[in-house]
Structure 1
Amino acid sequence: MNTPANHAASTLEAADELLVDAEAGSLPPPQATPVRGAAGRFLLGASLVLIAFNLRPVFSSASALLPEIRSELGLSALGASLLTTLPVVCLGAFSPLAPRLAQRLGTERTLLGVLLLLALGTALRGLSSVPLLFIGTALAGACIAVGNVLLPGLVKRDFAGRAALMTGFYTMALCAGAASAAGLTLPIEHGLGGSLAGALAIWALPALIVSLLWLPEVLRSGGQARRNGFHVKGLWRDRLAWQVTLFMGLQSALAYCVFGWLVPILRERGLDGVTAGAIVSLSVMVQAASCLIVPHIAVRGRDQRLINASLCGVAVIALLGLLFAPLSTVWLWAVLQGIGQGGLIAAAMTTIVLRSRDPDVAAHLSGMAQCVGYLLAAIGPLIVGLIRGWTGSFSWCAALFVALGLGAAINGWKAGRAVEINVHAVEKDG
């Protein structure tokens, strides 16, 4: 019997599988690997989780050292804005390439290349050169975009019975990577005698280590099967699809404002860099917990309008508290911001599933929402940097945060209605 509880459970499973920013349904199906024992499955699962950990330090490590980067390299306010914006742009620009690379090279080999190039890009950021800083950031951002798309297909293949559990683990790993870089980069810089280059480049080491752990999977994997794939007609002309996309993009803009600028905001308010990094680390880890809890709430309501709008309010109010409230309360505001922001990404991905009539529509809607959404999200950190450069203060960023939150709430309310997008998936010809 298809009871409401069963429907909620199946929807939650589907939403959990989308929580890592991936258009998994458009990938060629990875070829099944040979049967392995418990130890082999544990090592595979650990490798996937560790890969996920490496997909976020690029965003928050530079943010933690932004004042030092500007001082040592002579980076302008516009340059700082572009530095925090560039990897987000890459997420939107390069994610569509992942299915083609996976089909041509194989998922495992492509992922190994992602790890090696991610390590190279991260190392280039530590060569004390502005051009190499930007080249390395762009290379790392492109690798992260491809990695975001490849991981879910591997989880579905090798952990089909525990996809939601594994998704929870590597969602936590994504947040742990961001939190670690936010909280540890400045102490590492101090520990290296003030070496900015070393503190930026050291995040290449985890990627190199994980690439060695992943190499046996590449050697074990066989060829990659092809499939015709599906095309969804009319998706880009559907109003509800655009409301879902704008909800995704505007809430992502808030998220990357936090990743890119919250540490500098707190340092400008008078906190030392280590404390500011620790506060952001706490907020990001709370995001992970919220990201796991919110889908359970969202799928049990008649619709998602109220929860979508409410989470926007919590995230924005908490950001305003971090901007203006007494410094003695910033830890509380950081926790609230993590609850709101982590809940928003989970709500946005859950909304994609609930507004789709079948998995193929969900996969293509996810691709649209994330490709366009990440490009839209890049505007957020860029404008924060420009406002800081024009006014000499972060205070006026409050207007931007309110505008982004209001836009996300309006589109989240509309996207939260209990209706499905009126499109269908059609199989492509061979």
Structure 2
Amino acid sequence: MDVQPDEWIENNDDLMNNESGGEHEYMIMLFYIYTVIESVADTITFQKNLCEELFLKGRIRVSAEGLNVVLSGTKSNLQCYENRLLAHLNGTVTSQDLDVKYCPFRSDIPASKQLFDYLSIKKTKDLVSLEDQLGDEETNTFKPAPHLSPKEWHEALQSATSEDSIIIDARNVYESKIGYFTTPFQDGCGAPTLLTNTRRYSQLPPILKESVHHLAGKNIYMYCTGGVRCEKVSQYVQKLANSDDWIGEKPKVFQLKGGIQRYLETYGHLEADNVDDESSDQIMHKSDGNFSQSCLFQGKNFVFDQRRFDPQVGVGTVGACNMCSMPHFDYDNGHSPSENREARCCRCRILVLICSSCREKVVCAGEEFSQGKIRVFCGLNGTQCINEGNDFHFEFKRHVRIIP
């Protein structure tokens, strides 16, 4: 049995040194599984007892349709959790079905500050927060879209054009601001991306309804962080395509298996890797001993745990300071998200990108006003609140900018 996180913290002077690759390395476990849960109450009890035994903390959603899990702990204890869960499910689910992602900690902030400090196990109706439009019985009559492996996704985007394809980012606006997929140009025109600019996942239905003229007759390539959100959204798009709201030919819908996380494990690089000698738009990555073509994900993968973004990253920096427009990706400005020092709009409290230089001059939501500083908001130049992500406005954006 491994030591508890608190004991590990007390017995290590250098909290920045997380033993990489060893059984005592601390990691994040991320997975979801759609499977029939006969007794939600019994499953919650099992999960609670197992996590407490293995000193794992984080968030678990349990519903009649399956599990949605994100936990932190030592690598060996997380692997033990996976094995015990598979045994508990008694052969109804395989390791391939779980597709557990073991995610490394960032190296620039202490490992102790990237651990969850609580265990939340909740009974929910759905694995992800949905509106009735996404979770209704009619939507569920459609099967989730076919999954593309990272390699299949990479190859599909390389040949995609605006004439035949469109990419849908099924995440929220504050996620896509620091990273997203783009495609190579084919005859001067790559496939465009629909950045839905939502604040909550459940806001997607009206956005997609307004976008049918962009989606009709296209190959739709859909992605999110780890894959769970695309399962339901791909069903909803198929429902929409078979409704009176649809105009034109029906689309072909695909989703990225394992989401951005799995793709970057194959085509990205660890942020600590030395890539200074390579042009950021021509970084080459090793896969199965051979060099593959350059990564199609730009920037960083926003995550909903104490890291804020995963250290497996793509190419360049896509974020920019909301005040001075200088390249910037860090909502926390070098601090751990657990310190709650992130920049947020003073009115609507959405996350805002403010570079370290501008951060010294502003006051954000939750901070005491100081003479000589100005309050920052989510609108252009930080001067006003636009209630970003809540106005159901969508941006249809063609990625034509090559990250230098």
TM above 0.5: no
Bigger relative contact order, structure 1 or 2, given CA contacts below 8 A and separation 6+? 1
Q: Which has the higher helix share?
A: 1
Instruction: Please give the TM-score of this superposition, normalised by the length of structure 2.
Output: 0.29
